[in-house]
Amino acid sequence: MAAKLQNARAKSDICLEYTAMELSVFSDEHYMKEALKEAHKALERNEVPVGAIVVCQQQIIARAHNLTETLTDVTAHAEMQAITAAANAIGGKYLRDCTLYVTLEPCVMCSGALFWAQLGGVVYGADDPKRGYRMSQLSLHPKTKVKSGILAEDCGHLLTEFFRKKRN
């Protein structure tokens, strides 16, 4: 009886461990790290370091970073690129089953695009008190689940360092 119980406990421990492992692989932090990799790519091009990815059924279907200098296009924000790439990947304009991860709070333009694409979720890192969509009291699509503050320090640090170096 005791042996049986122990066996059952060991099995449930394995189960718990497995769940924890799964959570860490598909966690918001994990995906935000991928968005941060994109932000670093932007930095290498001397672009304002913002990165974004789109996740659908735990798979990354789009990766993008800010390209406003490279494309000489003020609309080339990371989110805009990511939305277009994700729509291409799934072959549809609505991204209801997708979550966009972006290192910085979306601006008003991007929040408009996120609204039209009806994202299932938006997760962002650092707040943008100056240009973020929340300062204009806009909201995303009512069905979009929003999370913020994921790896906010890492995401913000990249930006403050970029602008500090620009000034010097």
- Catalytically active residues are 79
* Single residue of 64, 107, 119, 122 touching Zn ion by CB under 5 A: 107
Q: Strand 121-126 relative to strand 145-148: parallel, antiparallel, unpaired?
A: parallel
Interface segment toward Zn ion; rule CB under 5 A; list 67-75, 99-107, 141-149, 153-161: 99-107
Q: Is 77 in the site for Zn ion (CB under 5 A)?
A: yes
**Pick 99 or 103: Cβ nearer Zn ion:** 103
**Pick 68 or 118: Cβ nearer Zn ion:** 68
Interface segment toward Zn ion; rule CB under 5 A; list 15-23, 101-109, 116-124, 139-147: 101-109
Give me the 137-166 binding string for Zn ion, x by CB under 5 A, dash otherwise: ------------------------------
DSSP string covering 96-130, please? Answer: TTEEEEEEE--BHHHHHHHHHHT-SEEEEEE--TT
d(CA 138, CA 125): 18
> Which residue stretches of the chain are H helix?
2-25, 28-44, 78-90, 108-117, 152-167
Q: CA geometry: angle at 76 spanning 128 and 154, to 5°?
A: 40
Q: Is 100 in the site for Zn ion (CB under 5 A)?
A: no
* Single residue of 110, 113, 114, 150 touching Zn ion by CB under 5 A: 110
d(CA 71, CA 31): 26
SS3 (DSSP) at 54: strand
In angstroms, what is the minimal distance from the CB of 135 to Zn ion? 13
Applying CB under 5 A, which residues contact Zn ion?
Answer: 77, 107, 109-110
